[in-house]
Chains A and B, each alone.
Chain A
Amino acid sequence: MLKISDLKVTVDGKAILNGLDLDVGPGEVHAIMGPNGSGKSTLANVIAGRDGYEVTSGSVAFMGNDLLSMAPENRAREGVFLAFQYPVEIPGVANIALLKEGLNAARRHRGEPELDALDFLKLVREKLRLVEMKEEFLYRSVNEGFSGGEKKRNEIFQMAVLEPRLAVLDETDSGLDIDALKIVAGGVNALRSEERSVILVTHYQRLLDYIVPDRVHVLAGGRIVRSGDKQLARDLEERGYGWIDSSAGAATA
């Protein structure tokens, strides 16, 4: 599904990712953990195609295609979804309007007919239930006046509607109380499938109690310094990132 090789990225001339490798197969859920500032969001943004990140070497292949040469909207239409760490507010633009445009753009891209207003409404209502959101959120401006938790839920809701092949969730758990965390995790779990891969970016182990990953990677110094199964996340929780830092550069498991 996603194959990242020797990815090096600089921001304003500063090296952030220094030769990162990652291979995510279809249907797999990978967790990427690491301390603040280790480059997790940078990785997520580079996958999604945000401006301001310079890829100085390496490659990112998505379904066998060169992702880095694609415009952000085409990545999205091909099935790359980013749940933002900080979802932006867009005053005056209804949540439902943005989603409808986005979904229909993807459908056109895939040669499918656009959904009409009625079918679309049916679809979004069903997906709202998944994250236990009220219908009024559809008609409110995108993220405007949403609480932190509502914003994160809205991201998962959008993911549910757009049905991506690869979802990158950037700290979707941060700022959530335990109930909201369970709802979000439930939504993500419901969307797990053979054809859908998920990258969970987090720096808490907590989320992984609810969304059990196939692989866990630790990002430090701009590279994956350790990989393992869900036990690795538990070890990290107990021993802290310092434990990894001191052994950074060691071969990854």
Chain B
Amino acid sequence: MNSAVKELGELVGREYKEGFVTDIEADTLPPGLDESVIRFLSGKKSEPDFVLQWRLDAFRRWQAMEPPDWAHVKHAPIDFQAISYYSAPKRDEDRPKSLDEVDPKLLETYNKLGIPLEEQKALAGVAVDAVFDSVSVATTFKDKLAEAGVIFCPLSEAMANHPELVREYLGSVVPQSDNFYAALNSAVFTEGSFVYVPKGVRCPMELSTYFRINALNTGQFERTLIIADEGSYVSYLEGCTAPMRDENQLHAAVVELVAFKDAKIKYSTVQNWYPGDEEGRGGIYNFVTKRGACRGDNAKISWTQVETGSAITWKYPSVLLEGNHSTGEFYSVALTNNCQQADTGTKMVHIGEHTSSTIISKGISAGRGQNAYRGLVKVLKGAKQARNYSQCDSLLMGDRCGAHTFPYVEVKNPTATIEHEATTSKIGEDQLFYCRQRGLSEEDAVSMIVNGFCKEVFRELPMEFAVEAQKLLGISLEGAVG
């Protein structure tokens, strides 16, 4: 990912100089949410009226909804009126001039991850590149993509330039009132990406973007929409490294994927938001709705996620298998250390005939971390010869953490083949000792064993991402043993 991001940084930097974002004033809305806030958000981007109406509709629905209480997570109620729903990037003079002005702890993490200096600057908000706050600056490699006919831009830009596509697909996979947080997002989303890959086009590069939360007390509500037309292919990477922070922050994103006949979408995430300190103070609440629809025959959607950050993760990337012979995949590593809580998994809904899905979930719990896998495999009546294979493995480190598995299966067609395997193991003293006897430090031994446990997921990640993910696991588990 590094080289891609560097290129991104360069490109964004250039665009900035060209005045791409210079007209944005640094302003922040006071906390609170009502219709006027939504009108402000919409007006800020000069959105088409149908978007404003869509937002207002979502807001009205959201007001009638209750936050979900079924997840295996605990947190104090969130005061949605205490959150500010808009924060623009800081102006240059308010940003660090160099890495010397950046929190050394953050830099230490970057160094451990092996992030090059230039990229560190971008991540830490030095200079003028990279995504900042709610305003997305990132649209990359425009020329190459344009040549291929691929549209990759901020969602706001798509609303202005491709309103017909946005109107057709926005909310077509995750309806406004799908769930509490999706409804909130639909009302107040600010930025995110839009991708359209035309028929028969293989997107010439991995698309990547960084999302970061930066302004204090500002929730971040991205919305991403990816459409792969017939026979096309796209691989999208999403990764983040959040700065140290002391207040709980809400992050409620929505991602919608649409894959038509013979199209393939590969969506990879490395999530490393600030997890809170050892006592569980601070940290991001990551309540995300991700869903893809295989709308045509032979379509394929593959989710890969490595979730190491956030105080609370609530996330179920799902696939609606509508087309015959369509395929859904979910590969997940979720790690909870200290007081982190994760309730994550997937939903595979088999609608078409001969649809197949694969679920590989690896949960790692350390410290007092609580890790739940929650998955639904649903085979509808018409889904002849559907197949699912699920494997959920949990690894426990120490005896104060928890692993929980909630697999739900609903089969309405008797020709379905459903396989489910689950294991729970403790990281073995004998494995650790074996590695140390061969000369590895205890931390390296833990890192090696845990990475081995996650191998089936990591090999689904693009190469550079896999390297970063492995390092991230090691860092996230520091202090978990010994």
Cβ-defined contact, A73 with B436, below 8 A: yes
* A18 beta carbon closer than 8 Å to chain B: no
Q: How far is the CB of A10 from chain B (nearest CB, A)?
A: 18
The digit string for A67-105, where 1 denotes a CB below 8 A from any CB of B, is 000011101110001101001101111000111011101
Q: Which of A24-79 contact B (CB under 8 A)?
A: 48-51, 71-73, 75-77
Given A73-B440, A103-B439, A162-B439: A92 and B434 interface contact (C-beta under 8 Å): no
Interface residues on B, range: 20 to 34
Measured between beta carbons, the chain A residues less than 8 angstroms from B442 are: 71, 73
For residue B28, CB closer than 8 A to chain A, the reply is: no
Q: Any chain A CB within 8 A of the CB of B466? A: no
CB of A158 closer than 8 Å to a CB of B: yes
Shortest CB-to-CB span from A113 to chain B, Å, is 16
Q: Are B452 and A141 in contact (CB under 8 A)?
A: yes
Choose the segment among B95-103, B115-123, B424-432 that binds chain A (4+ C-beta atoms closer than 8 Å). B424-432
Q: CA A146 – CA B478 in complex, angstroms?
A: 31
Query: Nearest Cβ distance between residue A90 and chain B, in whole angstroms?
Result: 5
The verdict on B3 contacting chain A, using a C-beta distance below 8 Å, is no
Which among A49, A87, A162 is the interface contact of B434 at CB below 8 angstroms? A87
Question: Which residues on B sit within 8 Å (CB–CB) of A84?
Answer: 434, 437
B439 touches A106 (CB 8 A): yes
B433 touching A92, Cβ below 8 Å: no
A91 touches B453 (CB 8 A): yes
A76 to B435, CA, bound (A): 10
Q: Is the CB of A91 within 8 A of B434?
A: no
Is A90 a contact partner of B452 (Cβ separation < 8 A)?
yes
Q: Which residues of A contact B437 (CB under 8 A)?
A: 48-49, 72-73, 75-76, 81-82, 84
CB < 8 Å: which of A75, A90, A103 contacts B435? Answer: A90
Contacting residue for B448 out of A71, A101, A158, CB 8 A:
A101
Q: Which residues of A contact B441 (CB under 8 A)?
A: 73, 105
Question: What's the least CB distance linking B393 to chain A, in Å?
Answer: 9
CB within 8 Å for A77 and B433 given contacts A92-B454, A93-B452 = no
Chain B residues contacting A71 (CB-CB under 8 Å) are 436, 442
A11 to chain B: closest CB distance in Å?
A: 14
Q: Which of B425-482 contact A (CB under 8 A)?
A: 428-431, 433-442, 444, 448-449, 451-456
Of B430, B436, B437, most A-chain CB atoms within 10 Å: B437
Looking at A72, A87, A88, which has the most chain B CB atoms within 10 Å of its CB?
A72
Please give me the residue from chain B that is nearest to A97 by CB atom: B448
The reply to whether B439 and A77 contact each other, CB–CB distance below 8 Å, is yes
Residues of chain A with a CB closer than 8 A to B434's CB? 84, 87-88, 90, 142
Say whether A76 contacts B454, CB under 8 Å. no
The smallest C-beta distance from B471 to any residue of chain A, in angstroms, reads 14
Q: With contacts A72-B433, A101-B444 known, is A90 near B438, CB below 8 A?
A: no
Shortest A45–chain B CB gap in Å is 9
B448 to chain A, nearest CB (A): 6
A101: which B residues are within 8 A, CB to CB? 435, 438-440, 444, 448
Contact B429 A51 (CB under 8 A): yes
Instruction: Provide the bound-state CA to CA distance between A50 and B437, in Å.
Output: 9
Q: In the complex, A71 Cα to B442 Cα: how many Å?
A: 10
CB closest chain-B residue, reference A103: B439
Given the complex of chains A and B, what is the CA–CA distance between A106 and B438 in angstroms? Answer: 9
Q: What separation, in Å, do the CA atoms of A73 and B435 have in the docked complex?
A: 8
Expressed in whole angstroms, the minimum distance between the Cβ of B332 and any Cβ of chain A is 15
Determine whether the beta carbon of A93 is less than 8 Å from that of B436.
no
Residues of A within 8 A of B451 (CB): 92-93
Q: Known contacts A91-B453, A98-B438: does B448 contact A51 (CB below 8 Å)?
A: no
Please give me the residue from chain B that is nearest to A89 by CB atom: B431
A84 to B430, CA, bound (A): 10
Q: For B430, what are the chain A residues with a Cβ–Cβ distance below 8 Å?
A: 88
Top 8 nearest A-B pairs (CB, nearest first) are A92-B452, A102-B438, A93-B452, A92-B455, A102-B439, A105-B439, A76-B439, A72-B436
| A contact residues vs B (CB 8 Å cutoff) | 48-51, 71-73, 75-77, 81-82, 84, 87-88, 90-93, 97-99, 101-103, 105-106, 109, 141-142, 158, 162
Q: Beyond A48-B437, A49-B437, A71-B436: 10 further Cβ-contacts under 8 Å?
A: A73-B440, A73-B441, A76-B437, A76-B439, A84-B437, A87-B434, A88-B434, A90-B434, A90-B452, A91-B453
Task: Show 25 residue pairs from A and B whose CB-CB distance is below 8 angstroms, ordered by the A residue.
Answer: A48-B433, A48-B437, A49-B437, A51-B433, A73-B437, A76-B436, A76-B438, A77-B439, A87-B434, A88-B430, A88-B431, A90-B434, A90-B449, A91-B452, A92-B452, A92-B455, A93-B448, A93-B451, A93-B452, A101-B439, A101-B444, A101-B448, A102-B438, A102-B439, A109-B439
